[in-house]
C-alpha cells in the first residue's frame, strides 16, 4: 500500500496552526546598538519601513501562519547588509533559512514597487535650480543636473549560461546605470543590463537617454566619464586638454563626477550583499536586479532619514566598472558646440 509523504513545516511543528502571525522578535526587546550592528539601521528607520511596507507584506496568504511585516523586514535588512543567509541571522529572529529567503523576496518586491516614489529627478523649477547650485558649489561646474556612471554587481551564472552576462573580466554580472545628485541621492537607477554591455552601449539603450533627449535637458546636462560619448545633455571630459580653460574644465568635471564614485562605494559598504565579499548574488539576473534596486531605494530612504551617505566605512572588496576603453570624441557637432560654449563662458 502506498504511503503518503507529508512535507513537514518545521515552524508548524514548533508553533502549531493557532498563530496567525509569527512575532518571534520584538524591536523593543533589544538595544539600538544591537539593531545597527545586526541589521545595519537604527530603530526609527526600521519602524518607518514597517509603516511603509506593512500593508503590502501583510497581504492575504494561503499559509495558515504569516510572518509579521516587522520580522520580514528585519530578515531582509539582515541579508542586504551582511550578504548572508547564515543560520545565526535566522536564529536571531526565530525563522529558518528557507523563511529568510522568502522574507527577502517579499521585502525586495515591496521596495521595487515603490522605486519611482524614492528614485526620480526633481520636477519643479525651484528644486532643479537648487540641484544645479549644489553641484556648482562642489567645483564650479555649471548647469549640472546629475552625474552618471555604471557599476557591475556580480551574479551567479544563469541556468541557460547566457554569455551576455559575462563581463570583460570573465565574470557574470549586471551592469547598473545610475545617476546621483551632489549629496549622493540616486535620481535614476537601471539595474538590469547584462554585464557584457559596455557602459556606452547601456546608455544608448537606457530609458535615461530617451528621457533626456525628449524632456530633461533644456537647461542643463549630466556629467559622464569618457566611457560615454559626448551629447548635448551629457558633458564628458576632453580627451587631450591643451589650453588652460580645457584643463580647468577637466579638473572641475573630475571633481564633480567623483560624487557618484563615492556613492557607489557607500552603497556597497552599506549593502554587503552587493560588494562581492560574500560571493555573487545567488539569484537569476531578474531577481538579482530587483535586489540591487531594492538596496538603491533603501539608500535614498536612509538619506531622507539623515543617515549620512559618506559616513559608512569603505567596503573591503570593490567591483568597480569593468570598462577598459579608448577615449573617443563625439562626432555630434552640436554637442561639441555646447561643450565649447561652456568652456568659453565659464572656464576661459
Q: State pLDDT tens for residues 25-41.
A: 677 778 888 888 888 89
- Cα 324 from Cα 70, distance rounded (Å): 44
The H or E element containing residue 151 is strand 144-154
Between the ranges 10-14, 80-84, 173-177, where is the mean pLDDT highest?
173-177
112/130 same-domain check: no
- Cα 221 from Cα 146, distance rounded (Å): 7
Q: Residue 130: which pLDDT band, with cuts at 50, 70 and 90?
A: very high
Q: Which candidate, 32, 41, 31, places its Cα nearest to that of 270?
A: 41
Tell me: the pLDDT tens digits for 74-113? Answer: 999 999 998 876 555 666 677 778 888 899 999 999 999 9
Q: Residue 242: which pLDDT band, with cuts at 50, 70 and 90?
A: very high
Q: Residue 2: which pLDDT band, with cuts at 50, 70 and 90?
A: very low
Q: What angle is formed at CA 210 by the lines to CA 343 and CA 206, rounded to 5 degrees?
A: 100
Domain of 169 in residue numbering reads as: 119-284+329-347
What one-character-per-residue DSSP string does 63-95 give?
SSSEE-HHHHHHHHHHHHHH----HHHHHHHT-
Cβ atoms within 10 Å, residue 325: 14
Buried b (16+ CB within 10 A) or exposed e, 152-173: bbbbeebeeeeeebbbeeebbb
The H or E element containing residue 149 is strand 144-154
- Cα 141 from Cα 227, distance rounded (Å): 20
152: three-class secondary structure by DSSP: strand
Indicate the pTM of the whole model: 0.86
241/105 same-domain check: no
Q: Is 318 inside any structural domain?
A: no
Listed in sequence order, the DSSP H helices in the chain are 10-15, 32-39, 43-57, 69-82, 87-93, 97-113, 115-118, 125-139, 199-205, 207-211, 244-270, 285-304, 333-346
Residues 6+ apart with CB under 8 A from 201: none
319: three-class secondary structure by DSSP: coil
109/247 same-domain check: no
DSSP lists the bridge partners of residue 190 as 177
106/170 same-domain check: no
- Cα 210 from Cα 204, distance rounded (Å): 9
Q: Is 11 inside any structural domain?
A: no
190/99 same-domain check: no
183/216 same-domain check: yes
104/123 same-domain check: no
Q: Is 294 inside any structural domain?
A: no
- Cα 150 from Cα 264, distance rounded (Å): 9
What does the block give as the cell for 166?
559575462
108/144 same-domain check: no
Q: Is 233 inside any structural domain?
A: yes
- Domain end (from 77, 99, 117): 117
Average pLDDT of every residue of the chain? 84
Number of independent structural domains in the chain: 2
Q: Is 163 inside any structural domain?
A: yes
Amino acid at each position: 500500500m502506498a504511503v503518503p509523504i507529508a512535507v513537514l513545516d518545521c515552524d508548524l511543528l514548533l508553533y502549531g496552526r493557532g498563530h496567525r502571525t509569527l512575532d518571534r522578535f520584538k524591536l523593543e526587546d533589544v538595544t539600538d546598538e544591537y539593531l545597527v550592528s545586526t541589521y545595519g539601521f537604527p530603530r526609527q528607520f526600521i519602524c518607518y519601513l514597517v509603516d511603509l511596507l506593512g500593508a503590502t507584506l501583510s497581504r492575504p496568504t494561503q499559509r495558515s501562519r504569516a510572518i509579521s511585516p516587522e520580522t520580514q523586514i528585519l530578515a531582509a535588512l539582515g541579508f542586504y547588509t551582511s550578504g548572508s543567509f547564515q543560520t545565526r541571522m535566522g536564529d536571531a529572529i526565530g525563522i529558518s533559512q528557507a523563511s529568510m529567503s522568502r522574507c527577502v523576496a517579499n521585502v525586495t518586491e515591496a521596495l521595487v514597487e515603490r522605486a519611482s516614489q524614492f528614485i526620480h529627478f526633481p520636477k519643479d523649477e525651484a528644486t532643479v535650480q537648487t540641484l544645479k547650485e549644489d553641484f556648482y558649489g562642489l567645483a564650479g561646474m555649471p548647469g549640472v543636473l546629475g552625474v552618471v556612471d555604471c557599476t557591475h554587481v556580480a551574479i551567479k551564472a544563469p541556468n541557460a549560461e547566457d554569455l551576455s552576462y559575462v563581463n570583460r573580466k570573465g565574470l557574470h554580472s549586471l551592469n547598473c546605470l545610475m545617476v546621483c545628485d551632489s549629496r549622493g541621492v540616486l535620481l535614476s537607477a537601471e539595474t538590469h543590463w547584462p554585464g557584457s554591455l559596455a557602459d556606452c552601449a547601456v546608455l544608448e539603450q537606457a530609458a535615461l537617454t530617451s528621457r533626456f533627449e525628449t524632456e530633461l535637458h533644456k537647461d542643463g546636462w549630466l556629467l559622464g566619464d569618457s566611457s560615454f560619448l559626448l551629447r548635448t545633455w551629457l558633458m564628458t571630459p576632453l580627451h587631450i586638454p591643451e589650453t588652460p580653460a580645457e584643463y580647468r574644465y577637466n579638473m572641475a568635471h573630475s571633481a564633480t563626477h567623483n560624487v557618484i564614485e563615492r556613492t557607489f562605494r557607500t552603497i556597497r559598504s552599506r549593502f554587503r550583499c552587493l560588494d562581492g565579499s560574500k560571493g555573487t548574488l545567488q539569484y537569476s539576473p531578474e531577481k538579482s536586479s530587483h535586489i540591487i534596486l531594492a538596496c538603491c531605494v533603501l539608500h535614498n530612504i536612509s538619506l531622507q532619514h539623515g543617515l549620512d551617505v559618506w559616513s559608512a566605512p569603505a567596503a573591503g572588496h570593490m567591483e568597480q566598472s569593468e570598462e577598459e576603453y579608448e577615449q573617443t570624441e563625439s562626432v555630434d557637432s552640436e554637442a561639441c558646440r555646447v561643450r565649447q560654449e561652456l568652456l568659453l563662458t565659464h572656464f576661459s
